[in-house]
């Protein structure tokens, strides 16, 4: 499976993002908070996992810092999404993920990568539990 992050894999719809924050669940692994929403049924555009990233302007005033952290999170997700994707493709669920950087100092890629890995593993376990119900 290719390790890509295409345009169709991005969560861009304002209504979907609102629904995710209003009705979705939350997982925390310092320094990242993951909001996720499981939906029954197959997606129309072929992507069963959609993701988004946000870094707040409260602690990172400069766009350069925010973009650096977003790139690190996206890269960690891109490399480690294969396990979750296999479980999702085998099931009938669609998953919306939204990563929020929740720290006031920038972290190294290794810390972010470790955090994303743990969050995706937790999310995979939750999907497996939902499939087995």
Q: pLDDT tens across 91-133, in order?
A: 888 999 999 999 999 999 999 999 999 999 999 999 999 888 7
Which residues in 79-111 are b (16+ Cβ under 10 Å) and which e? ebbeebbebbeebebbbbbbbbbebeebbeeeb
pLDDT for 44 beyond 60: no
- What does the domain layout of the chain look like in residue ranges? 7-132
Is the pTM here over 0.95, yes or no?
Answer: no
At the topology level, CATH places domain 7-132 in: Ribosomal Protein S5; domain 2 (3.30.230)
């Amino acid at each position: 499976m290719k390790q890509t992050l295409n345009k169709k894999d991005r969560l861009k719809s304002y209504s979907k993002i609102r629904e995710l924050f209003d009705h979705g669940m939350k997982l925390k692994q310092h320094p990242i908070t993951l909001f996720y929403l499981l939906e029954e049924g197959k997606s129309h555009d072929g992507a069963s996992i959609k993701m988004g990233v946000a870094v707040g302007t409260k602690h990172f005033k400069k766009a350069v810092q925010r973009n650096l952290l977003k790139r690190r999170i996206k890269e960690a997700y891109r490399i480690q999404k294969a396990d979750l994707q296999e479980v999702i493709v085998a099931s009938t669920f669609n998953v919306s993920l939204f990563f929020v950087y929740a720290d006031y100092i920038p972290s190294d890629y290794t810390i972010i990568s470790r955090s994303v890995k743990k969050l995706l593993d937790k999310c995979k376990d939750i999907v497996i539990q939902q499939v087995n119900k």
